[in-house]
Structure 1
Amino acid sequence: MKALVYTGVEELSYLDRPRPEPGPGEVLVRIAASGICGSDMHAYLGHDARRPAPLTLGHEAAGVVVGGPQDGRRVTINPLVACQNCVFCGTGRENLCEDRQIISMPPREGAFADYVVMPERNLITVPDPVPLAHAALAEPIACGWHGVRLGRAVLGGDLSGAHAVVIGGGAIGVGAALSLAAQGARDIMLVEPNETRRARLADVAGFEVCAPGEPAMPGDGSADIVIDGVGYAGTRATASAIARPGGVIVHIGLGEAEGGLDIRRMTLQEITFIGTYTYTAEDFAATAAAIFDGRLGRLDWVEERPLSAGHGAFQDIRAGRVAAPKIILTPEHGASDS
């Protein structure tokens, strides 16, 4: 089979790789769509020691089961493989499992490939009318869905009267904004500095878009819930300034590790900070269901490119030349499938 393999800092190679063989409880999935995540970009730039070269990246994927009794089943993939035995797994918090694995991180190869193997329990059936490129968005949107659910609980469970602000117009931020709308928020502002991307998002239903510093930018102390989908010191500083007293900051982005939070203001004004990592299996399933029944909109803000052109896609993202919040890579599936 073919795979897009991370071979060194800012190096991706389209190579022949052995087709994986499913083990007990696993199935083989022929990949139809796999999204480029910010964590893939971190690895590509050499900023993620957890993803050493050589490694097949990619964990936002959907495809079709090959072989066995489920042959032909269209699925979206929950890439987080939990142990199912620890206290976190037993209480439905699989994202905190200490023995969790995720495809695109050793020992599991990722989904920028013709095929991947997954435990059957990690698959959700995709209805026939739903494009698999849209189903692959379940993973990045689930991060926002999970964060919104946690923040909503802090605010008493009702977002209908809340002023919500999302920082970052990539797939994590857009998914969080759509999740806010699907979970009851009506007043949503998305902040994105890239003009090209803002223009692409202007017609996405459910929220407004502005640039930092514009008159429409939310003022200090004005937001009930702020979701930072970027995770840099500057975005954390913005989040801790615009959150209202008693408000909540949901921090999803992993841009850089330190700096930005106004701890004194957060302490004096009882602003809750929630760090979130991935999602629970229940949140992933809820996100997939929201995609399937249309609650997350048209999902037409993706750009599809062939897997063989994946390195160019990474270069374009690195250079800021991509308007779409998400690039989806699609394998060609030819004679190399074996």
Structure 2
Amino acid sequence: MKALVYDGVETLNFRDVPDVIAGTDEQLIRVEAVGICGSDMHAYLGHDARRPAPLILGHEAAGTIVGGDHDGMRVTVNPLVSCLVCPACKSGRENLCPKREIISMPPREGAFAQFIAMPMRNLVEVPDNIALSKAALAEPLAVSWHAARLGIEALHPSMDRSAIVIGGGAIGLAAALALQAMDMPDVIIIEPNDARRAYLNDHCGQTTVAEASGPAPLVVDAVGYGSTRATASNLVESGGVIAHVGLGDDAPGFDVRRATLQEITFIGTYTYTAQDFRDTAAAIYDGRLGPLDWTDNRPLSNGAQAFRDLRAGRVAAPKIVLSPWD
């Protein structure tokens, strides 16, 4: 089969790799659409020791089951494989499983390929009226759905239901969409890139600004750099909540003194539960997350150029989705 392989820093090659063989408890999936995530970019730049070359990246996938009792079923893929037996898994917090694995990180190869194999429990059926290129957005949308849910749950009942999202990439836009789907209509996105800000305004119907303004009861940091943590610390209201979902760096920036004196809640939020993933898929299917027409669709064979374009800031759309068969 063909795959886009990370062979070294800023080096991706579309080439032949051994065919995937599904295990006894797995389904073979023909990948029809797979998104590029920020974590893929971190690996591409050599910033993620957990993803050593050579490796097939990619974990935001949707496709069709091939063979077996479910042959032909259209599915979106939850890439987190958990143990099912630890206290976290038994309590429905599979994202905290100490033995969790994710495709695109050893020992599991990723979905920048024509086929992958996954357990049936990780697959959610996609209705015929939903494009698989949209269904592939379930994974990044679930990340933000989880962050939005935790942030809202942590807000004091007396506080206004409004939020600021830092970052207008896929996770930031998805956070805004999730918050709006959860009856928080007053959301502002901070995005410094002029082209992306215009795209979010004109194409996605979002309210965006170039620079920080506030305060707000809930601030979602969808970037995760020291500078954005500092911005979040300044923007959040006293007694408010910061939901930190970005993993840009580990530099200082969070204002611990202000958080202590003003009783600010800081929530580190990573991935999602299995229920969050299913709830996100349902919200895609019933339209609560909007038309989801903000992707840049390209062939997987041109994936290396897509990464170069992202690296150079030439992509206005929040998400690039690749097709392994074009």
For 2:65 and 2:325, the matched residues in 1 are separated by: 16
Partner residue of 1:172? Answer: 171
- How far does the alpha carbon of each residue in 1:152-210 deviate from its partner, in whole angstroms, 9 at most, with x for none? 11115798x42200000110001100000001101100010110111111135563111
**Per-residue displacement from partner, 1:291-311 (whole Å, max 9, x unpaired)?**
000000011110000000000
Residue of structure 2 in register with 1:316 after alignment = 309
> 2:30 aligns to what?
30
Output aligned runs, 1:4-19, within 5 Å.
4-19=4-19
Kindly indicate whether residue 218 of structure 2 is the aligned counterpart of residue 200 of structure 1: no
CA deviations 1:71-92 (Å, max 9, x no partner) are 1000000000000010000000
Report Cα offsets for 1:74-124 as digits up to 9, x if no partner.
000000000001000000000000000000000000000000000000000
Give 1:129-140 correspondences, 5 Å limit.
Answer: 129-140=129-140
User: How many Å separate the matches in 2 of 1:274 and 1:316?
Assistant: 32
SS of the residue 1:202 aligns to: helix
Aligned residue in 2 for 1:234: 227
Give matches, 1:69-218, under 5 Å: 69-156=69-156, 161-204=160-203, 207-212=206-211, 217-218=212-213
- Equivalent-residue separation in structure 2 for 1:258 and 1:200 (angstroms): 30
Q: Is the 8 A contact 2:51 2:105 kept in 1?
A: yes
Match of 2:240 among 228, 244, 247: 247
CA deviations over 1:39-65 (Å, ceiling 9, x no partner): 000000000000000000000000000
- Assess if the C-alpha contact under 8 Å between 1:76 and 1:132 holds in 2: yes
Do the aligned residues in 1 keep the contact of 2:204 with 2:294 (CA within 8 Å)?
no
1:259-278 pair list within 5 angstroms:
259-278=252-271
Q: How many residues align?
A: 326
Q: Contact 1:152–1:158 (CA<8 Å) still a contact in 2?
A: no
- Which residue in the other structure is 1:299 paired with? 292
Query: Structure 1 counterpart of 2:244, which letter?
Result: H
Q: CA RMSD in A?
A: 1.2
Contact 2:200–2:206, Cα closer than 8 Å, also in 1: no
Contact 1:80–1:100 at 8 Å: present in 2 too? yes
Counterpart residue type for residue 185 of structure 2: R
* CA offset digits 1:202-234 (Å, max 9, x no partner): 13556311111xxxx423xx2010000000011
Q: Which residue of 2 aligns with 1:336?
A: none
Shift of 1:19: 1.3
- Which runs of at least 4 in structure 1 moved beyond 6 Å after TM superposition? none
Query: 1: distance between equivalents of 2:183 and 2:210?
Result: 24
Q: Distance in 1 between matches of 2:236 and 2:14?
A: 45
Q: Secondary structure at the match of 1:84?
A: coil
TM-score by length of 2: 0.98
Structure 2: tracts of 5 or more residues without a match: none
2:46 aligned partner: 46
Q: Report the Cα distance in structure 1 between the residues aligned to 2:141 and 2:20, rounded to whole angstroms.
A: 27
The runs of 5 or more residues in structure 1 that have no matched partner are: 334-338
Correspondence for 1:282 among 266, 275, 293: 275
Shift, 1:332, TM fit: 1.4
Partner deviation per Cα, 1:11-66 (whole Å, 9 max, x = no partner): 00111011111112100000000000000000000000000000000000000000
Alpha-carbon distance in 1 for matches of 2:144, 2:303: 25
What is the TM-score normalised by the length of structure 1? 0.94
